[in-house]
Amino acid sequence: MARTECVAMILAGGQGSRLGVLTDDLAKPAVPFGGKYRIIDFTLSNCTHSGITTVGVLTQYQPLDLNTYIGNGGPWDLDRNIGGVYVLPPYVRMKAGEWYKGTANAIYQNIPFIEKFDPEYVLVLSGDHIYKMDYTNMIRYHKKTGAAVTIAVMSVPWEEASRFGIMNTDETGRITEFQEKPAQPASNQASMGIYVFNWRDLKEYLIADEQDPSSDNDFGKNIIPNMLQNREEMFAFQFQGYWKDVGTIQSLWEANMDIIASPPVFNLHDNNWRIYSKNPIQPPHYVSSDAYIVNSCITEGCNIFGRVEHSVVSDGVTIEKGAIIKDCIIFPNVHIGEGAILEKTIVGQGTTIGKRVKSGIRESGDNPYASDLCSEGIVLIKGDITIDEDTEIYKNSMVRTYQRIGGGEV
Amino acid sequence: MARTECVAMILAGGQGSRLGVLTDDLAKPAVPFGGKYRIIDFTLSNCTHSGITTVGVLTQYQPLDLNTYIGNGGPWDLDRNIGGVYVLPPYVRMKAGEWYKGTANAIYQNIPFIEKFDPEYVLVLSGDHIYKMDYTNMIRYHKKTGAAVTIAVMSVPWEEASRFGIMNTDETGRITEFQEKPAQPASNQASMGIYVFNWRDLKEYLIADEQDPSSDNDFGKNIIPNMLQNREEMFAFQFQGYWKDVGTIQSLWEANMDIIASPPVFNLHDNNWRIYSKNPIQPPHYVSSDAYIVNSCITEGCNIFGRVEHSVVSDGVTIEKGAIIKDCIIFPNVHIGEGAILEKTIVGQGTTIGKRVKSGIRESGDNPYASDLCSEGIVLIKGDITIDEDTEIYKNSMVRTYQRIGGGEV
Amino acid sequence: MIHAMGLILSDNDIHINTLTEKRSVAALPIAGRYRLIDFILSSMVNSGITNVGVIPRLNYSSLMDHLGSGKEWDLNRKNGGLQILPPYIGRGMHGLGEGNIDLVAAVGGHIKRSKQKHAILADGNNVLNIDFDDVMDFHLSNHSDITLVYNEELQTDRALSAHTILEVDQNNRVTGMEVRPRRPKSKKVFLNIMLTERNFLQHLIDEAVARGEHDIARDILMKKVSRLNICAYDFKGYVGCIDSIRSYYDNSIRILNENVRKELFNPNRPIYTKIKDQVPTNYGSYASVHNSLIADGCTIEGEVKNSIIFRGVYIGKCARVSNCIVMQNSVIQDGCELDHVVMDKEVIVRESGRLIGDYNYPMIIGKGAVV
Amino acid sequence: MIHAMGLILSDNDIHINTLTEKRSVAALPIAGRYRLIDFILSSMVNSGITNVGVIPRLNYSSLMDHLGSGKEWDLNRKNGGLQILPPYIGRGMHGLGEGNIDLVAAVGGHIKRSKQKHAILADGNNVLNIDFDDVMDFHLSNHSDITLVYNEELQTDRALSAHTILEVDQNNRVTGMEVRPRRPKSKKVFLNIMLTERNFLQHLIDEAVARGEHDIARDILMKKVSRLNICAYDFKGYVGCIDSIRSYYDNSIRILNENVRKELFNPNRPIYTKIKDQVPTNYGSYASVHNSLIADGCTIEGEVKNSIIFRGVYIGKCARVSNCIVMQNSVIQDGCELDHVVMDKEVIVRESGRLIGDYNYPMIIGKGAVV
């Protein structure tokens, strides 16, 4: 059997608590995005298009959901005779189980998995980024420079640079310094959390790091600084294009809006780089004579009788007559009743919004659903609940369980 | 999506320590059997042929190996759009991980997995049994009797009955009593560890059992007795045919010999009930002009120059000129040197047997490899080691790591 | 879950203008993202059938491309699964035969090797969602030798006299059968879907071949009506029979009706089709869509009314598309006006182009045309 | 890992007795468990090619059955993967064409839609295990327009003058080329394997079609020798060319040679084939097997010598099989004597039957015969 040149390991994140109720029952990478995708579809599709067919997905929480979503890997063309895609939760070893202590520890715990494929390179990726990238270019660059590790970087606005891990490089692209969230950034080249390692080198560093009790076992905090200190050859690979970390409600909302901007900030209409997903088995969407839809994306299985403006509508959604949604993200199988008016609202999978419900329109000092996680007016409503008719939900709310709180007749 | 009528859960066993060095690096269900199979192939193939396409494999140890062996389930035709086969190790939940405390607890921990498929029935199976069985007959019987649980039983010789869980039934097949390894068995109907449960009933018993701190969380010791006590409808389903638990070295050896007996005690040449496996990608085996092969089975990729009598030879094995093997089981990719003589020896995967090695021929009071696990003259040699030329290994040995112990020139 | 094999005849002698020039009828695109064969094939799969043979006659490369390995129908199986059974073409040109008996006879080996007790033989040109479990229950409880499926409200272009009409007594037994009768004695139209035991099907075909016969309805069923217990199952659901450009157009537009859509797209019995990984459809600032079915992957900048828009279509600014069927990847550039047009795949209508057909004479634009 | 599409012509004009009456040459069973096409197809897959089109001409149902969805070659892919590209047969009988140019031209759309920079076009009738990475390196470093693969020790039945012979200068450039020359100027036999850029291949084919030409070697390559940089890659590995019953028999038996086997079945470049889930072969108490290749699923009770035994064959007690090729699922009952016999699939030789051919005239028994 031919050896596998490069294995990809996707760090599919911790509990994702900054996404609030969206990750109550769901691993972050499985959160819906862009009408018919899950967040992880982007990274998986990038792997497939880059010819990387052995992929491990490292996740702490709810591995079961992710396992059944990913299934045999077929939707991403990752149902392979050799390799394919594996969900790798931390499993019980000798006496007790261990959380993945940090990103580096997650890879460390899966050294036996990687060794099975005897790769030359390991591509370390993050499961909560939205972007399209051909990793082959980066791997080619890595081979050319002969580096121990190559780190993808992109230019960020100077004023935001202090929120990122910043790479300082010499004129050849060699990394000379790494600053994690620097107050005074020396450059605006931010690490995207995408690494190509020589597996042999990485393995050594992982083993050493594991033996250091003071380590956070994290790539950004430990592995990369240690390699820098040991003067390993480290290069930055310049990425140009759209890239977004969707770890917060705000950024998730923004990224969804980016695909319906005109012209789109992030264009998914690209036949050469399709984003694969487990497609819903639904007929085309129906748009009634009364409907009005502009600046939005709508997908299969929807029935639109109302008004949709600048919104992302997922599969199987019904929007009844007279309902208006604006700047919203509607997850799959939501039902929005007649006359409901929603603005800047994210509605979780399977939720029913009663008739004449209002959401995200007014502010209130006395908001029972107020949440620090929701700002900029965004409302987040959990999946699989019912919001009764005539309820009003104020801006900056997160509705986990709904209890009638006055405001209208049933 | 149509619901799944029946989900199969395969209890793939604990560490299998009675199989000695065979399970040092391998989960028991992944141990080779019959030349080109792994033990679990039999249960998985039974599921496929019975039309059961949603299968969970519950394993404590080495889930990774099993995971990569099972892959996308394709070899067993279990690469399904809905369902398919999943390896389910105990995973870390809130703060810490938990072993599967017992067979019942293993299913308990995976209630969310089963619920995803909303089944009517759950078929509980064991992953270390060698047999061919059409579960549809058993499920049909279960439906007909309207039982809460149906347990497959078979007649065993009376003298062995006290080694089994014995079911006593009335004339209609209703189970009236269950004795775990009774000293004075009242019948010779032994439980095969194959259960069909109504999922709703089983779930209740699992939840109740979990809350009982004194329980062993075991089907045989707890769930079944509890159900009997509550006077649930429980029926025995009579199985006729070959069935063998291969949990010990002795029984593993016997079961292998059963397939090469003449006429075979267990016939694998059955086009209507093929045993599926991940087939090796190897050419047909070559038999040289000097070779002699009788009463044996040989498979792809072998090169036979020596003498093979009454043995099972797995794929990719080379047996050099003048070597003699008799009553042996040779695992994949073993190389047996010129003039070596092996009797009743099980040779682990990838091991090299030097020239003129003798094994299993003589007894010795002073046997450095003597092992309680090996009786009846059987020798077990671990995989991926090298036995030097001219070594002699005595009967009833288990060789874990080989160190030269005199007995010939290099 | 029934234990039967399925056989789909993908190519009966129906020609639908240029739309079937290079594809079999069963491969005709319909309802925005499907091919005709998806309906009968999904019906079989949803009834638990795992062995389906598709018998093409000519021009089946688009059918092969559509069906692929059968993955989307979960029919990429080790035993059975989906198999395309091309006619045997020798170094001369035998094997295409003259009728459906010849086509079924040519796959006799496949039928013989199959293991299911029953066989369902069906044409591939009906839009319907039928539960074969019910048909099987009917077949067994009537101790039927052969069960024929009929419908009394067939949505078709052709007159009753163009079909095979059944006479059925109160015990569901077929008492008479006429192929293309001058004066139809009932409205019970045989849908060319039949269920029988597999061995018996093979026996009937063998016998007919030996007698040099060609047509199943005329040469087998009609002759056996009095000698066998042939029963008729009344399928009461929606059936659109595609047998002309008229019925293709009408049955397409009918899917805009909510009740028809609910019957065909029952979530418990989904219609599967080839997955194309299209993005959701984008609506621009001036989009205006009314009473239309829109598949994924489209960009809608203009107006669409009473139309079916397939995957990947582009409709430009100020374009007006009414009463049209626009197939996959066609491009309607800015300012075009289209009315009553059926447009095959990958057509381009250039800026401000006008194509106006009539309900009685929809305009057909062939695949890949640039207008 | 190379970035090229593969095209395999599965049906050149070679007829091998009754063995290819109902199957294309590429579907010929060989070496105990393979079909001829497995060698070139696996070679492509092992070089990282993920888009392979197989172009059949006639009788490709056994080829379709063998290749299935391409799963065994890991070619059941979303983009590209394995595709069988049947000739377009219109409602007349066009499309079969006259030569390989016509066949390749018929799949022009497929070539156009493919995305790889290069294309490898190969016949399907050679037994070999070739690393296309090396061919690509050669192609690039020679700045070749077209690279032809040749071999100087071709294992073939036919004389050199039956092949296409290349003249090659010291810079690897093809300076002359003759199709079936009376007096071959070299022993460099073109293996009908060529590599070029995909767009250029299509250009060459389009041009040839426009001129009404049919044969790639004669009408394209020979004419371009002086005008293009056509280079020749010397493949030094073993090549068995199957072009007659003689070469079929000889190249089969040659696989008993350890060196040939090692070259063909390199574990780093495995030859894939359809998986049949056969059990290991069982040897009985009186089995006696010498210098033979035995596939899985057999039961050997008798004697076998210098033979190739395919999957699922039964050899009865006291039967003696020498110098034979016995294909899948054949049954040699007790006491039979067979010498120099080539037996197609599913043959039954009844008890004590005797079939004795000669090395110079091996006896051929057709598929399914009962002797």
What mean pLDDT value characterizes chain D? Answer: 91
| Interchain proximity C279–A275, CB inside 8 Å | yes
Residues of D in contact with A137 (CB under 8 A): none
The minimal CB distance from D86 to the residues C61, C76, C93 is found for: C61
With a CB cutoff of 8 Å and minimum separation 6, the contacts of A159 are none
Q: Are strands B285-287 and D292-294 parallel, antiparallel or unpaired?
A: antiparallel
pLDDT at C31 over 90: yes
Cβ distance C61 to D85 less than 8 Å, yes or no, reads yes
Verify cis geometry, omega within 30 degrees of 0, for the bond prior to B263. Answer: yes
Which pLDDT does position B98 carry in this prediction? 65
Instruction: Tell me the pLDDT tens digit for each residue of D123-169.
Output: 999 999 999 999 999 999 999 999 999 999 887 777 788 889 999 99
CA angle C168/C172/C177 to nearest 5° reads 30
Residues of chain C neighbouring B48 (CB-CB closer than 8 A): 78
Rounded to an integer, the average pLDDT of A111-135 is: 94
Contact predicate A213/A253, CB 8 Å: no
Lowest mean pLDDT among B301-310, C90-99, D67-76, D283-292: C90-99
Least confident interval from A93-102, D108-117, D337-346:
A93-102
The mean pLDDT value for D319-348 works out to 96
Q: What is the pLDDT of residue C217?
A: 92
First to last CA, chain D: 49
> For D87, which residue in chain C has the nearest alpha carbon?
C61
Task: Give the distance from residue D35's alpha carbon to the nearest chain B alpha carbon, in angstroms.
Answer: 12
Q: What are the CA-CA distances from residue D146 to residues A291, B370, D174, D192 (Å)?
A: 59, 67, 10, 12
| Average pLDDT score over residue span D6-25 | 81
The alpha carbon of residue B47 and the mean position of all alpha carbons in its chain are separated, in whole angstroms, by: 15
What confidence score (pLDDT) does residue C155 get? 78
Nearest to D89 among C58, C78, C88 (CB): C58
* Burial of D65 per CB tally in 10 Å (0-12, 13-18, 19+): middle
Percent of residues, chain C, with pLDDT higher than 70: 96
Of A277, A289, A293, the CB nearest to C283: A293
As a whole number, mean pLDDT of residues D332-339 equals: 96
Buried/exposed D334-353: b ≥16 CB within 10 Å, e otherwise:
ebbbbbbbbbbbebbbeeeb
Higher-pLDDT residue of B146 and C1 is: B146
CB atoms closer than 10 angstroms to residue A177: 14
Q: pLDDT tens for residues B171-220?
A: 899 999 998 888 888 899 999 999 999 999 999 999 999 999 999 999 98
Query: Does residue D185 carry a pLDDT above 60?
Result: yes
Nearest by CB to D280, which of B287, B288, B299?
A: B299
A82 CB neighbours in chain D (<8 A) are 74
Position D288 scores a pLDDT of: 96
- Which candidate in A77, A134, A270 is best for mutational testing of the D interface (most D CBs within 10 A)? A77
Tell me which chain A residues have a C-beta less than 8 angstroms from the C-beta of D270. Answer: 1
Of the candidates A77, A81, A272, the beta carbon closest to that of D78 is on A77
Span C46-57, mean pLDDT?
A: 91
Residue C62 neighbours by CB under 8 Å, 6+ apart: C22, C23, C24, C27
* Share of residues in chain A with pLDDT > 70 (%): 94
Residue A1 predicted with pLDDT over 50: no
Q: Which residues of A touch C284 (CB under 8 A)?
A: 262, 294-295
Mean pLDDT of A109-126: 93
CATH number for C282-365 (one of 1.10.10.10, 3.20.20.110, 3.40.50.300, 2.160.10.10): it is 2.160.10.10
Give the whole-angstrom CA distance, residue C31 versus residue C40.
Answer: 14
Residue D59, CA atoms < 13 Å, CB-side half-sphere: 18
> Alpha-carbon distance C59 to A344, whole Å?
51
pLDDT at position B409 over 50: no
When pLDDT is averaged across residues D321-348 and rounded to a whole number, the result is 96
Rounded percentage of chain D residues whose pLDDT exceeds 90: 69
pLDDT at B8: 97
Q: What is the pLDDT of residue C94?
A: 44
pLDDT band at A316 (very low <50, low <70, confident <90, very high): very high
Local structure of residue B45 (DSSP, 8 states): H
Q: At the top level of CATH, which class does the domain C4-264 belong to?
A: alpha beta
The mean pLDDT of D199-210, rounded to a whole number, is 94
Q: How far D219 CA sits from the closest chain B CA (Å)?
A: 39
Q: Does B112 touch chain A (CB under 8 A)?
A: yes
CA distance C292 to chain A (A): 5
Q: Do the beta carbons of residue D121 and residue D201 sit within 8 Å?
A: yes
| C-beta separation of A27 from A63 below 8 A | yes
Cβ contact, residue pair D261, B35, below 8 Å: no
**Residue closest to C277 by CA, chosen among A276, D78, A312, A33:** A276
Residue-wise pLDDT for A359-374, tens only, equals 999 998 888 899 989 9
Question: Are the beta carbons of B351 and B334 closer than 8 angstroms?
Answer: yes
Minimal-distance CA residue of chain C relative to A76: C277
Place of tokens 């509550």: B230
Distances (CA, A) of D359 to C350, D252, D324: 70, 13, 10
ipTM above 0.95, yes or no: no
Is the pLDDT confidence value at B106 over 70?
yes
> C368: which chain D residues are within 8 Å (Cβ-Cβ)?
none
pTM attached to this predicted model: 0.89
The rounded distance, in Å, linking the Cα atoms of B390 and B410 is: 7
Q: How far apart are CA C164 and CA C177, in angstroms?
A: 7
Give the per-residue pLDDT at D99: 84
Candidate from B12-26, B37-51, D20-34 with smallest mean pLDDT: B12-26
A299 vs C contacts (CB less than 8 Å): 280-281, 296
- Which B residues 354-393 touch A at CB under 8 Å? none
**Which residue numbers of C have CB closer than 8 Å to D's CBs?**
22, 58-61, 64-65, 68-71, 76, 78, 84-86, 88-91, 93, 277
The DSSP bridge partners found for residue D288 are: D303
| Cβ separation B2–C46 shorter than 8 A | yes
Terminus-to-terminus CA distance in chain A, angstroms?
67
Instruction: Work out the angle between the directed axes of helices A63-70 and A39-49 (0-180°, nearest 10).
Output: 50
- Determine the Cα–Cα distance for residues B210 and B108; give it in Å rounded to an integer: 8
Using a CB–CB cut-off of 8 Å, the residues of D that contact C are 22, 58-61, 64, 68-71, 76, 78, 83-86, 88-91, 93, 277
What would the two tokens of residue D362 be?
């091996």
Closest-CA residue of B relative to A95 is B99
Instruction: Give the gap in angstroms from C-alpha A93 to the nearest C-alpha of chain B.
Output: 7
**Res D91 pLDDT > 70:** no
pLDDT of residue B249: 94
User: Taking CB atoms and an 8 Å cutoff, what residues of chain A touch C31?
Assistant: 283-284
Nearest to B81 among C46, C74, C269 (CB): C74
Q: What is the mean pLDDT of residues B348-368?
A: 93
pLDDT tens-digit series, residues C181-219? 888 889 999 999 999 999 999 999 999 999 989 899 999
Region A88-113 average pLDDT: 78
A3 has a chain D CB within 8 A of its CB: no
- Taking residue D290's Cβ as centre, other Cβ atoms within 10 Å add up to 16
Residue with tokens 């042939």: C230
- CA distance, residue B48 to nearest chain D CA (Å): 14
Estimate the share of chain C in helix, then strand, then coil, as percent rounded to the nearest 5.
25, 30, 45
Maximum distance among all Cα pairs of chain A, rounded to whole angstroms: 70
Confidence class for position A262, pLDDT limits 50, 70, 90: confident
Judged by a CB distance cut-off of 8 A, whether residue A51 touches chain D is: yes
Q: What is the pLDDT of residue B93?
A: 59
What pLDDT score was predicted for residue A404?
60
Quote the pLDDT of residue B408: 42
10-49 in A: which are within 8 Å (CB) of C?
A: 34-36
pLDDT of residue A14: 65
For residue C288, which residues of chain A lie inside 8 Å, CB to CB? 292
Whether residue C91 is predicted with pLDDT greater than 70 in this model: the reply is: no
| Statement: residue B263 has pLDDT above 90 | no
Task: Please count the CA atoms within 13 angstroms of the CA of A389 that sit on its side-chain side.
Answer: 7
Q: C108-162 pLDDT, tens per residue?
A: 889 999 999 999 999 999 999 999 999 999 999 999 999 999 999 887 777 788 8
Task: Note whether C69 contacts D71, CB cutoff 8 Å.
Answer: yes
Element (H, E) at B290: none
Domain boundary assignment for chain C: 4-264, 282-365
Q: For A111, which residue in chain B has the nearest alpha carbon?
A: B64
User: Which tokens is A122 given?
Assistant: 């390991």
> Can you give the pLDDT at residue A407?
45
Chains in contact with chain A (at least 3 beta-carbon pairs closer than 8 A): B, C, D
Q: Of all helices (H) and strands (E), which one includes residue A140? A: helix A135-145
How many Å lie between the alpha carbon of C160 and the closest alpha carbon of chain D? Answer: 28
Best interface-test mutation with B: which of A1, A4, A54, A72 has the largest number of B CBs within 10 A?
A72
Please, which pLDDT band fits residue B14 given cuts at 50, 70 and 90? low
Pick left, alpha or beta for residue D203 (phi over 0 → left; psi -120 to 50 → alpha; otherwise beta).
alpha
Distance CA B207, CA B231 (A): 18
pLDDT bracket for residue A405 (50, 70, 90): low
Would you give the end-to-end CA distance of chain B in angstroms?
67
Give all chains having 3 or more CB-to-CB distances under 8 Å with chain D. Answer: A, B, C
Task: Say yes or no: B74 contacts chain A, CB-CB below 8 A.
Answer: yes
Triad A229, A235, A239: Cα angle to 5° = 135
Q: Please give the distance of CA B264 from its chain centroid, rounded to a whole number.
A: 19
Q: Which chains touch C (3 or more CB pairs under 8 A)?
A: A, B, D
Closest Cα of chain B to A58: distance in Å? 12
Q: What is the DSSP string of C202-240?
A: HHHHHHHHHTT---IIIIIIHHHTTTS-EEEEE--S--E
Angle, helix B39-49 to helix B63-70, in steps of 10 degrees: 50
pLDDT at B404: 60
Q: What pLDDT is recorded for position B67?
A: 82
pLDDT digit string, tens, across residues B53-98 = 999 999 877 677 788 888 889 899 998 888 899 888 776 655 555 6
Read off the amino acid at residue D270. P
54-93 in chain A: CB under 8 A from chain C = 74-75
Q: Is residue A93 scored above 70 in pLDDT?
A: no
- Name the residue facing C270 among A276, A281, A294 (closest C-beta): A281
Interface residues of C toward A, Cβ cutoff 8 Å, are 31-33, 71, 256, 258, 261, 264-265, 270-272, 275, 277-297, 299, 304, 308-309
The tens digit of pLDDT for each residue in D340-364 reads 999 999 999 999 999 999 998 899 9
> How much is the pLDDT for C183?
87
Nearest to A2 among D46, D76, D77 (CB): D46
